[in-house]
Structure 1
């Protein structure tokens, strides 16, 4: 069922405590539904190149299963607690790429297909944003983050700001639906070294006055930029890791 050898299962049990949790007669133990769910997630993660140790840390009780359970209960405080704990133990990039983003993608597909779970999606997104903002520090921003004028999904900017904070890089996040003239004005006031603009739709991306952002390094991210011709000097980044690395190289 899992496509994993008994030897591997015994190793995961011995090293990471991912064995069956229910005891039956004699010395035998039985895998519960939660045990199997953790193992399935373990297999998924390791098949994508995540090390067994990191995968095990993610799927243990303070990992993605706890987050999913809290989301199902609409328990915002618990989702925030689990996310903050994961970030503290594994960092923002790992927590986002391995646990939170896959959860939101799967949930979004469910909403698109069945129209059920919108309330879970909204509550989870808010809780994740709260967890990401918990690690931010004050100070003059080296980076300015903003959404395109009609872009409402600002969570990727919260994640990027938190990832940069781990490298002692302060970012100012203007959030969703930033008008073009407001973005230009913010650049004039804050004088950041890098501006990053997020757009998940091409229509939104084309509303951004990139050519008006003079004297600053400009990066863009999100699927909306894929088919947009960018001015000279503007660079598109496709992943959180690439965004962090590129920004750090430019400040």
Structure 2
């Protein structure tokens, strides 16, 4: 399969003149030229250019990005991750939103994966993914359009979060995560799970719209150290049978999400306000 320059520019959401400049200045040109002198790009050429677009969107200079784009992606190291700076966060958000509005799912997934690999789940989630997804959600509310953009963006983040390796060692289930009955916003639970994987913790996620009986049955059977229930609306939060889940010692019961604001909670229920607080709650119980 080969592509014309105009087709490649359209696929990547860049101007044909940019494509020509990258060819002339950095040698990121097509592998094929027809007898008539026409340029034709192969899939491998497009993948290099896609990495070029991602890197420049992250603020890497064009010259440096061209060198990096030619390199095959390598497995992440086990070295320390550094938090994303405010400047880096702005650039990453812009790049992610630009790819989202072009419906470029591979680029979003690539950017999300690199952010998690380089900076860790917590920083990527709080500094880039949440602000970007909130902006896309506000765009839908404001204009009544862009649901497909929001869904593809969420799917790309989910893909990157699920790529974080989970521990294969047997042990106690550190956390059981669940949505409230009829709650469908479960991506934050995936972020918490991926962050726990980075800490080497075993966890499970029951997902969206978990009936009260099913949640109680799962807690009884799995006996997690911590059970955490997510809700983004108070009417959904009130459906969670907190009193039946435990007394706070076996297991520790926690709730998260905006839906718990103003909802009376039993004294034994913990309410972490941030992703970091939720992780610390689990780690304290597992390692304490």
TM-score by length of 2: 0.66
C-alpha deviation, 1:52, in angstroms: 10
Q: In the alignment, what sits opposite 1:128?
A: 157
TM-score by length of 1: 0.75
Counterpart among 79, 85, 88 of residue 54 in structure 1 = 85
C-alpha deviation, 1:240, in angstroms: 1.0
Counterpart among 183, 186, 204 of residue 151 in structure 1 = 183
Task: Tell me, in whole angstroms, the C-alpha distance in 2 between the residues paired with 1:93 and 1:112.
Answer: 27
Offset from partner CA, 1:8-41 (integer Å, 9 cap, x none): xxxxxxxxxxxxxx9xxxxxxxxxxxx9x97xxx
Counterpart among 222, 226, 243 of residue 211 in structure 1 = 243
Q: In the alignment, what sits opposite 2:198?
A: 166
Q: In the alignment, what sits opposite 1:116?
A: 145
Q: Is the alpha carbon distance of 1:52 and 1:124 closer, same or farther for their aligned partners in structure 2, counting shifts above 3 Å?
A: closer
Q: In the alignment, what sits opposite 1:248?
A: 283
Q: In the alignment, what sits opposite 2:78?
A: none
Contact 2:84/2:119, CA 8 A, preserved across alignment:
no
Task: Tell me, in whole angstroms, the C-alpha distance in 1 between the residues paired with 2:149 and 2:132.
Answer: 11
Offset from partner CA, 1:62-91 (integer Å, 9 cap, x none): x33332222112122221111011001111
Counterpart among 44, 69, 85 of residue 114 in structure 2 = 85
Task: Tell me, in whole angstroms, the C-alpha distance in 1 between the residues paired with 2:117 and 2:137.
Answer: 26
Secondary structure (helix, strand or coil) at the match of 1:236 reads coil
* Aligned-residue CA RMSD (Å): 2.4
Offset from partner CA, 1:146-174 (integer Å, 9 cap, x none): 00001000000001111111111121011
Q: Flag the structure with larger Rg.
A: 2
Q: In the alignment, what sits opposite 1:179?
A: 211
Q: In the alignment, what sits opposite 1:221?
A: 256
Secondary structure (helix, strand or coil) at the match of 1:235 reads coil
- 5+ residue gaps in structure 1? 1-21, 23-34, 39-50
Q: Which runs of 4+ in 1 moved over 6 A?
A: none
Task: Tell me, in whole angstroms, the C-alpha distance in 2 between the residues paired with 1:112 and 1:248.
Answer: 37
Secondary structure (helix, strand or coil) at the match of 1:237 reads coil
Secondary structure (helix, strand or coil) at the match of 2:271 reads strand
Secondary structure (helix, strand or coil) at the match of 1:144 reads strand
Task: Tell me, in whole angstroms, the C-alpha distance in 2 between the residues paired with 1:164 and 1:202.
Answer: 26
Contact 1:136/1:161, CA 8 A, preserved across alignment:
no
Contact 2:93/2:131, CA 8 A, preserved across alignment:
no
1:57-68 to 2 correspondences below 5 Å: 57-59=88-90, 63-68=92-97
- 5+ residue gaps in structure 2? 1-20, 22-55, 60-81
Task: Tell me, in whole angstroms, the C-alpha distance in 2 between the residues paired with 1:146 and 1:130.
Answer: 19
Determine if the alignment matches structure 1 residue 71 to structure 2 residue 100: yes
